[in-house]
Amino acid sequence: MAKIIISQSTPLSGTVRISGAKNSALPILAACLLADSDSILEDIPQLKDVENMYNLLEWIGLKINSEDNGRVQIHSSNLINHDAPYELVNKLRASFLVMGPLLARMGQTRIPLPGGCAIGTRPIDLHLKGFIAMGAKITQGHGYVEASAKKLKGAKIYLDFPSVGATENILMAACLAEGQTVIENAAVEPEIVDLANYLISMGADIKGAGTDTIKIVGVKNLKGCNHTIIPDRIEAGTFMIAAAITKGNIRIENVMPDHLKPVSAKMREIGAEVNEEDTTLVVKGNDKFKPVDIKTLPFPGFPTDMQAQFMALMSIVEGTSIIIETIFENRYMHVSELKRMGANIKIEGRTAVIEGIKKFTGAQVKATDLRAGAALVLAGLAAEGETEIEDAEHIDRGYYKFEKKLMSLGAKIHRID
Catalytic center residues: 117
Q: Which of 25, 88, 157, 166 binds ligand EPZ (CB under 6 A)?
A: 166
Residue 6, strand partner residues: 387, 413
The piece of 156-164, 242-250, 277-285, 357-365 that touches ligand EPZ (CB under 6 A) is 156-164
Q: Which of 161, 211, 344, 414 binds ligand EPZ (CB under 6 A)?
A: 161
User: Toward ligand EPZ, which CB reaches closer, 317 or 327?
Assistant: 327
The piece of 5-13, 22-30, 238-246, 308-316 that touches ligand EPZ (CB under 6 A) is 22-30
Q: Which of 289, 328, 360, 400 binds ligand EPZ (CB under 6 A)?
A: 328
Do 377 and 406 touch, CB atoms closer than 8 A? Answer: yes
CB burial of 97-133 (b: ≥16 within 10 Å; e: otherwise) equals bbbbbbbbbbeebbbbbbeeebbeeeebebbbbbbeb
Q: Which of 154, 165, 218, 231 binds ligand EPZ (CB under 6 A)?
A: 165
Give the span between the Cα atoms of 15 and 243, in whole angstroms: 11
Nearest to 204 by CA among 187, 221, 225, 183: 221
Work out whether 23 is an interface residue with ligand EPZ (CB under 6 A): yes
Q: Which of 9, 52, 76, 304 binds ligand EPZ (CB under 6 A)?
A: 304
Work out whether 122 is an interface residue with ligand EPZ (CB under 6 A): yes
Give the span between the Cα atoms of 3 and 167, in whole angstroms: 36
For residues 253-282, which are near ligand EPZ according to CB under 6 A? none
The piece of 119-127, 173-181, 248-256, 349-357 that touches ligand EPZ (CB under 6 A) is 119-127
Nearest distance from C-beta of residue 121 to ligand EPZ, angstroms: 6
Give the span between the Cα atoms of 274 and 244, in whole angstroms: 10
Work out whether 123 is an interface residue with ligand EPZ (CB under 6 A): yes
Residue 324's CB: how many other CB atoms inside 10 A? 15
The piece of 125-133, 148-156, 306-314, 339-347 that touches ligand EPZ (CB under 6 A) is 125-133
Q: Which parts of 208-258 are beta strand (E)?
A: 213-217, 226-228, 249-253
Give me the helices (H) in 32-124, please.
48-60, 86-89, 99-106
Work out whether 305 is an interface residue with ligand EPZ (CB under 6 A): yes
Q: Which of 18, 47, 164, 206 binds ligand EPZ (CB under 6 A)?
A: 164
Radius of gyration of the chain, Cα coordinates, nearest whole angstrom: 21
CA neighbours closer than 13 Å in the CB half-sphere of residue 160: 7
User: Toward ligand EPZ, which CB reaches closer, 188 or 363?
Assistant: 188
For residues 173-202, which are near ligand EPZ according to CB under 6 A? 187
For residues 126-145, which are near ligand EPZ according to CB under 6 A? 126-127
Do 107 and 147 touch, CB atoms closer than 8 A? Answer: no
Indicate if the alpha-carbon torsion angle 52, 127, 326, 215 is positive or negative. positive
CA neighbours closer than 13 Å in the CB half-sphere of residue 238: 32
Work out whether 56 is an interface residue with ligand EPZ (CB under 6 A): no
Residues that bind ligand EPZ (CB under 6 A): 22-23, 26, 94, 120, 122-127, 161, 163-166, 187, 304-305, 327-328, 370-371, 398
